Amino acid sequence: MQLYPLKIVTVVGESVIMEDIAERGVELGATGYTMSEVIGHGSRSARNVGSTAGGAKTLKVEFVVPTDVATTILDEISHEYFEHYAIIAWLSDVSVMRGEQYTRKSGG
């Protein structure tokens, strides 16, 4: 059984922006994503992610990707969304079963 070192990019934010981010992630090289509903609560210095005050639904999106795609997605989020939206994004190390298929070949 083969395990392949990859990254998970996790992004949490308001649902309206997260559908955009999910699509952008795929355009930037992710082979797919999973999305789930969460309740977000931020206080003080951090952004208020998914405050229930406004009634906005909060979504978590995860991409299983190679390091270079992870960096590209985080760069995009940092530049295009971070200033204007309440978003948290992080990177984790994972070992993926038959993970070589998540390295999408360019030029397809």
Positions in the binding site for its own copies (CB under 8 A): 1, 3, 6, 8, 10, 12, 22, 26, 31-50, 58, 60, 64, 71, 74-75, 77-79, 82, 87-99, 101-102, 104-105, 108
Length of the chain: 108
Tell me the sheet residues that pair with 89. 11
Residue 21 C-beta: closest distance to its own copies, Å: 12
Judged by beta carbon, residue 55 or residue 108, the one nearer its own copies is 108
| Signed CA dihedral, 68, 50, 38, 59: sign only | negative
Residue 56 C-beta: closest distance to its own copies, Å: 14
Residue 65 C-beta: closest distance to its own copies, Å: 10
Q: For residues 66 and 48, give the distance between their C-alpha atoms in angstroms, rounded to a whole number.
A: 30
Vertex 15: Cα angle to 12 and 18 (nearest 5): 60
Judged by beta carbon, residue 17 or residue 74, the one nearer its own copies is 74
